[in-house]
A and B are shown apart, each in its own frame.
Chain A
Amino acid sequence: MLVVDVEKRLGEFAVAAKFEAADGVTALFGPSGSGKTSIVNMIAGLIRPDRGRISYGGRIVFDSGAPHDEPPHRRRFGYVFQDGRLFPHMTVARNLDYGRRMRGLARDEAEHKRIVDMLDIGDLLARRPGKLSGGERQRVAIGRALLMKPDLLLLDEPLASLDAARKRDIFPYLLRLRDEAAVPMVYVSHHPGELRRIATTVVRIDAGRVTGIGGTELLEVEEDAL
Chain B
Amino acid sequence: MGFPLLVRAIRLSIEAIDRKLEDAAATLGANRGFVFLTVTLPLALPGIIAGMVLCFAKALGEFGATITFVSNIPGETQTLSAAIYTYTQSPNGDAAAGRLVIVAIVISLIALIASEWLARRAGTRLHGE
Contacts and interface: CB of A to CB of B under 8 A. Distances in A.
B28 A89 contact: no
A71 B43 CA distance: 23
A76 B29 contact: yes
B31 A103 contact: no
Contact of B126 (A44, A71, A89, A98): A89
Interface stretch (B17-25, B51-59, B75-83, B111-119): B17-25
B34 A72 contact: no
Given A46-B23, A72-B23, A83-B20, A148 B28 contact: yes
A102 B29 CA distance: 5
Contacts of B93: none
Interface residues of A, number: 30
Contacts of B126: 88-89, 130
A87 B21 contact: yes
B26 interface: yes
A176 interface: no
A71 B27 contact: no
A128 B129 contact: yes
A89 B129 CA distance: 10
B43 A103 contact: no
A187 to B, nearest CB: 16
Interface residues on B, range: 20 to 34
A99 B39 CA distance: 13
A184 interface: no
A85 interface: yes
Given A87-B21, A89-B125, A99 B28 contact: yes
A68 interface: no
A151 B113 CA distance: 50
Nearest to A41: B23
B19 to A, nearest CB: 10
Contacts of B29: 73-74, 76, 99, 102-103, 148
Interface of A: 44-46, 71-79, 81, 83, 85, 87-89, 98-99, 102-103, 127-131, 144-145, 148
A71 B129 CA distance: 34
A85 B19 CA distance: 10
A106 to B, nearest CB: 14
For A74, A88, A127, A130, the residue with the greatest tally of chain B CB atoms inside 10 Å of its CB is A88
Given A128-B129, A130-B127, A131-B128, A89 B26 contact: no
B128 A78 contact: no
A158 to B, nearest CB: 14
Contacts of B30: 73, 98, 102
A157 B56 CA distance: 47
Nearest to A127: B129
A44 B53 CA distance: 40
Contact of A87 (B25, B128, B129): B25
Nearest to B26: A72
Given A102-B34, A127-B129, A128-B129, A87 B39 contact: yes
B61 interface: no
A77 B31 CA distance: 14
Contacts of A145: 27-28
B64 interface: no
Contact of B128 (A45, A76, A102, A128): A128
Given A87-B39, A89-B42, A79 B27 contact: yes
